[in-house]
Structure 1
């Protein structure tokens, strides 16, 4: 009967979590929201099968569920600002050079904060950290080291993401202190630990015999006399002993006292990142800035389907004000490859007004030599990753600038290879002035 009650509680929990997860995605599109909902539905389907007798009810079914972790993920997503990703996979390179992946439960603050949600109890986390867990268990400290390493390889607007470990069933003070030493922020209740005395310590606490004490004192005096000329060696040995004592103290057997909360820590405040003041202009952006479509000539139906679609998009959402607002008071750059291709396209397809705007635009832009960054040069070429894009985005990366582009295909392809650029993506606009004579007014 007790198992049936627990089963019903789990089902109710899964249903509520699914509703909360769907509410998160309903407010705004979050990458990975479908994955989170899918995991919750899978848990719920299994529990309903158990309830309907399709699967035999066992206590292990209630304890081995993923709901504890998924509950922590949902709570974290509800508690932070600017969530853009859930259960997001990042690629990084381990210290040994191996290619690895890392799942970040919640990506917040527009990508500048990574949250790992932890639902396990403080006792289990502490035992695993001390090496007393089951085979295959990984301590949160080793996981934190991976998070820090991966975050250093995934800069966003040339700032490393902040790593936060959110504990929903407490964390022992030694573990929390170790995480903070790694640069990881901790959220949750930090609880005390009590040292468990060993058999050797209990024996040492007993009163020693007077004769034995005198013998020990005499031996110590003799050692001091004999070692008078070996001061450096003694100091070295003492330093080693102190280091060993510190390590022994850190990993000495201890028991978590969950009733004694040392510190109650909320999520860090929303991260305010200073906007990058450098902008790198892609060919697609240069074209959009001078296109007749962007300058009011969008009330036309062209013979080319793609131009008619862009005209309709422009009528719904003007692209030029968005671009100018982002570029305002910033340094504008464009690499030689982008400028050369842009001038060739304008000379070939541009109308008189578009050519005039192109000259005015280039007068505002600082042209720099092509200089792709080191990580850009490691990308493998493909249909989306071509030489021109590598030059343009790679030079922006070297400049530590945000690249403005309508080439979302390259951005996704590079991200699939583990390279995420700082970009401002907008809708494309083509040069249309030369096609207006045969277009139909709307």
Structure 2
């Protein structure tokens, strides 16, 4: 009974704290609306006011009903609107906010147009790590990354010259961004404003299970071969996960492990593992005599990651490796492949059926589920280092047919920036 009472008290305290935060957000939003009155002659400012009002009405409604969740506060757009208003006050000759432009058949919203139309600005108030993760593809299906927005802004600016000039594009990162991401955005010719943060850079596919590095450092046995499906030597089709493609083209798997010691703990650990257990020979041996496939989602994610954090040679290896891989639509099945499947007894029935599905959450990410399910449908062994997904799927009763190897990050950019020096 005492434990029940404690639980009730804790829940009440949590609810009270959430309500206090909602009240603070509402006060913040009302103050924000008042602060933009001085810009009332600015094109698009009324639209911005309406958006803020809609956000306030939503917060007031959940405050009234008491159905408050932490996500309501964390995902509030008021932070972004506030950043836009603050940026307006710092620019010169602002002529429009929330300006909608057309790019092909899509609408592109330009946050701020200033310098009499010669500068377009996008204001980003997201958490820096979240920005990098989304660029790695770790987001719900359809969520566009800041790199996607960069491409849109540049392309749209070319189609809408002002005073016979292509408008300059500026991205303002209110909370900063990772070094690698800043470099990638600048490669489009965009000026980046905001603190550059080294510790939020992401070096590899975030779906790869990296949460167990600490435990692994305490043990000599980190081999994931026990997770691999036994008796799969006769299966001649391979489905490549993003993590497998990254490992195959990674600089650390192609010679740099013996040349550098890295100051970043995760990279240093992977380099040490690579010296002890080189992964590329293992993958090459497994690939022998087999046909390699990947789905469109895996290819797109792989290219995005390589383009964002890959080095020159890693990009070259990625292009060459993709030429060896047959890319199919995400929803492809074994019938789409011209091969003799008669020997693949393991695939008389696919793992996932309408009455047997996986729940997204935790280590079961949306993108990984698409990739593993693709391998299941085409009757291929999924090659992956995402042991977290494999374990989580097994806990839900799904045993995918897999070959699991050790994870390796893209490291070439770090060999100059963060390597402490030649090993030999």
- Give the TM interval when normalised to the shorter protein: 0.3 to 0.5
- TM-score, structure 1 normalization: 0.44
What TM-score, normalized by structure 2, do the two folds share? 0.46
